[in-house]
Structure 1
């Protein structure tokens, strides 16, 4: 198979217990539904598969490359890229099935030294999973939310109802995706409690929230809550999301931009499908909108700094696909099926800096 040609030096040796191996196979198949059983079995034996290995078995048969003009974007500074790369490791670590408690999750842990594990959270019903750590070198409280373990299931189960954001004044008309707010609420008290204790122990710290996919959405909701609950810390909160879907209405975006400004890093990648969902016109014209500030990884693997004044810069991700007519859930699911074997879906997992997203730890 293609994977075998990439991994000739990798012995087909299973280092995992039978139970661990079966778990790895199951979640890998959920993420890579077009991979053969043989390739899934081989991938599951590799302790820390690379992006190239995952891409090789993904079943991608078509790759959409845009010709749209991105000349108005500028390359992000090396310091920003280094920061985004580092936080992507923390975001990716939330997917690891093993090794978080002692910070031994292979690349995602070895490349994030000075990390003290604090707490892991995992709720079955709402599927809200993640962890809290403290980085002594960065002086940062880091809260990472895992994305879904099955992208298709997440969209099928997606509750697209918008509800008032509980951490915002009612007069602002801020509305958020019902499921994202509900998912955060089940861990709200745990996160508030741990952040409060860490701020007492490390009073000069700042707070970083991160997540991939639906995890990025919950990280944004969490940031808004913590900014309200710890008002003296609001100016020390940073948000790093990767492949995040739209989270709320235009008033939601306005509130996020107002509270966090240039401390928001919303990273997108090539034609990543999930960043275009829910469609802007689902639930009504202009009902959904991204917040700033976007950093787009383009087709040359360069990180571009997008507009500081426009929420959805057409020179970046928003200019790669036009999904405005996806005004029903049925149309969204049809699109997902259509691009299951195309680059749009694999762009959601592979290409966001050092490590692939998903349970490939």
Structure 2
């Protein structure tokens, strides 16, 4: 049983809003400052909606995902064949692999932080920068790339079985596209998973990564590596990872830049709660988007959603949520 003091800590809004126990307040002095450009609702629906729907499913129970009977999240996605899952929704967050017949793709979705599960939160709390495991990414050897300690440890717990499942799924379905997605901690894991898959598959396979409420996952070298490694959906095909930040969500501002962390390019920022106004933010850590948020106006609700199409993360929309 958790101690009363720990339960009290985890119940604080500030604690729940930050997977890294409140290390917010990024500096924007060396951030990109290019003017954001409008990103249409049509582009949202064609490039971001489906990954968000899969990322939402990852918060439901393993049993309901296996049966593809998790309520609204599963009902929103038709012609899906479940292939594999892993993790225990605790120290080893859940992931699942599915075949999306409508999109002719293989989908990998990672569960995000469960604020009700201290083991899940502790994955995020180990926020020191450590060397990237270059054995998984041979081209990074000697490039001084460092990543979030907790994210890498969490990624490594399922990386081998996940990659084996992807390779098996590609062989059995014949598709040439892999979509990797997740929210919060799940988004951070998705960036590592996408890069790993890209290294492992035939170059003819299109690997895309889309995250929601993404915290910073590594140093400048990691951000640059992601920008060049994983091709993304048009109209952002020039960047490595697309990630969506929602208004005053504090999570994309942690861990802070002064500790050596840096976002890659590819941010799409939700401007207000209308679910209609979006902008594409040029460069890395654009000060006109989430990086420039005032920490005093941080919103836990913005991290959970809704983002668009009434999509909210965290399991509340699952039929088996408590």
TM-score (norm 1): 0.69
Deviation (angstroms), 1:80: 2.3
Determine helix, strand or coil for the equivalent of 1:306.
strand
Post-superposition Cα deviations, 1:72-119, rounded to whole Å, max 9, x if no partner, equal 322213342113122111101111125211111111111111111111
Question: Which residue matches 1:279?
Answer: 256
Shift of 1:343: 5.5
Aligned pair 1:253/2:229, yes or no? no
Say if 2:119 is the partner of 1:161.
no
| Shift in Å, 1:34 | 7.3
Alignment-derived partner of residue 67 in structure 2: 102
Q: Is the 8 A contact 1:92 1:357 kept in 2?
A: yes
Q: Distance in 2 between matches of 1:206 and 1:89?
A: 17
1:358 aligns with 2:314: yes
How far off its partner does 1:312 sit? Answer: 1.3
Match of 2:23 in 1: none
Q: Please name the residue that 1:213 is paired with.
A: 184
Q: Residues 352 and 155 from structure 1, CA distance in 2 versus in 1: closer, same or farther, beyond 3 angstroms?
A: farther
Greater relative contact order: 1 or 2 (C-alpha under 8 angstroms, separation 6 or more)?
2
1:202 Cα deviation after fit: 2.8
Residues 146 and 214, structure 1, Cα contact 8 Å, conserved in 2 = yes
Match of 1:306 in 2: 280
Q: Secondary structure at the match of 2:197?
A: helix
Inter-partner Cα distance in structure 2 for 1:132 and 1:175: 28
**Is the 8 Å Cα contact of residues 130 and 146 (structure 1) preserved in structure 2?**
yes
Paired residue for 2:84, among 114, 119, 126? 119
Residues in 2 aligned to 1:239 and 1:317: alpha-carbon distance in whole angstroms: 19
- Aligned mate of 1:137, from 98, 102, 120: 102
Distance 2:217 2:299 in 1: 20
Q: Is the partner of 2:179 in helix, strand or coil?
A: strand
The question of 1:89 aligning with 2:53 is answered: yes
RMSD of aligned alpha carbons: 2.8
What whole-Å deviation, never above 9, does each CA across 1:152-208 have from its counterpart, x for those lacking one?
952696111222222242222111111111111111111111111111123332001
Distance 2:315 2:53 in 1: 13
Most deviating of 242-251 and 175-184: 175-184
CA distance in 2, matches of 1:272, 1:155: 20
CA shift in 2, pair 1:272/1:181, >3 Å: same
Aligned to 1:237: 207
Alpha-carbon distance in 1 for matches of 2:248, 2:178: 30
Relative to structure 1, the CA distance from residue 185 to residue 345 in structure 2 (aligned partners, 3 Å threshold; closer, same or farther) is: same
SS, match of residue 347 in structure 1: helix
Q: Distance in 2 between matches of 1:104 and 1:147?
A: 20
Distance 2:229 2:277 in 1: 24
Counterpart of 1:223 in structure 2 is 194
Deviation string, structure 1 residues 264-314 (Cα, Å, up to 9, x no partner): 3200000101111101112xxxx1001110011111433423234x11112
Which is higher, the Rg of structure 1 or of structure 2? Answer: 1
Q: Does the C-alpha gap of structure 1 residues 151 and 163 become closer, same or farther in structure 2, counting only changes over 3 Å? A: farther
- Which residue matches 2:39? 76
Unmatched runs of 5 consecutive residues or more in structure 1 = 1-28, 36-69, 323-338
Q: Check conservation: 2:92, 2:157, Cα contact below 8 A.
A: no
